[in-house]
Homo-oligomer: A and B are copies of this chain.
Amino acid sequence: MIGRMDAILGLFQSGARTLGGGAPGGGVLGVSEIARRTGISKPAVSRIAAELVERRFLERVEGGLRLGVRLFELGSQAAGPSDLRRLAFATLADLRSATRQTVHLAVLEGSDVVYIEILRSRFTPPLPSRVGGRLPAYATGVGKALLAHLSEDRLAEVLPERLTPVGPRTITDPAVLRRHLEEVRETGFAYEREESAPLIGCAAAPVFDADDRPIAAVSISVHLDAVDLVTLGAAVSTAAHAITRQAVQHQFRAG
């Protein structure tokens, strides 16, 4: 049963949602704990885990199991993210050296945002984001840049009815968020102040494919009183446009 396997593997990445105090050591879980958290019987977990270990989807280590090298292999070959990453790298690097701040590239996945690439800067305080990590879309700059360009019904099915705060000033009122997204659509870029992490703000802009569907978003994160967000918005917009051009040229399509 694939669903069960999915549930099991999901536990290992759930740590990514708890970005704040997440253990960077890499999640190690035991059979019993997995059984408890997923509701699957212990024998079943043991059996499935054994098979996943055999195929290197999991790895046995002292104290339990963790994600295996096979997933690393498959993940590095996932065409969507990898292509986008390669395609955008030069532009992102330019953006970082121009602004001297940390640059993010992310895609929308369900109601979350998944980080595809992160170019860190010494001049930006360390951020909890990780490549491959998730954050609720409505709480991040990249997320809002993407949400703003969804069709009304797509947006409805993607947005949770309850917005739970992840930063000091996360928007929790859906109506406020709607108004916010409209503004993003008009100005062409999104900004965010302390909605995902304390003292951190960012400006973000969407990247489109040939059919004008949003496929990703770029952002620059800064310590809030360091730089003017509007100036950054301009920079991030031109970078996003540049990546859009390359995406179109390489016939990159939305999933």
Contact = CB atoms under 8 A, between A and B. Distances in A.
Interface of A: 2-3, 5-6, 9, 12-13, 15-16, 25-28, 48, 51-52, 55-57, 59-62, 66-83, 107, 109, 114, 116, 130-134, 253, 255
Count of this chain's copies in the oligomeric assembly = 2
Contact of A69 (B9, B27, B130, B255): B255
A80 B68 contact: yes
A91 to B, nearest CB: 18
A15 B77 CA distance: 10
A26 to B, nearest CB: 3
B56 A109 contact: yes
A134 B2 contact: no
Nearest to A74: B71
Contacts of A83: 25-26
A76 B75 contact: yes
23 contacts: A2-B51, A3-B51, A3-B55, A6-B55, A13-B74, A26-B83, A27-B79, A28-B79, A59-B79, A59-B255, A60-B255, A66-B80, A67-B75, A69-B109, A69-B255, A72-B78, A72-B81, A73-B109, A75-B78, A76-B130, A76-B131, A77-B132, A77-B133
Nearest to A67: B78
Given A69-B80, A255-B68, A74 B12 contact: yes
A26 B15 CA distance: 29
Contact of A77 (B5, B6, B16, B56): B16
Q: Which of A60, A72, A74, A132 has the most CB of B within 10 A?
A: A72
Given A69-B107, A109-B69, A74 B77 contact: no
Contacts of A77: 12-13, 15-16, 26-27, 67, 130, 132-133
A203 B119 CA distance: 30
A124 B9 CA distance: 39
Contacts of A16: 73, 77
A27 B80 CA distance: 11
Contacts of A81: 69, 72
Q: Which of A48, A52, A81, A109 has the most CB of B within 10 A?
A: A81
A2 B66 contact: no
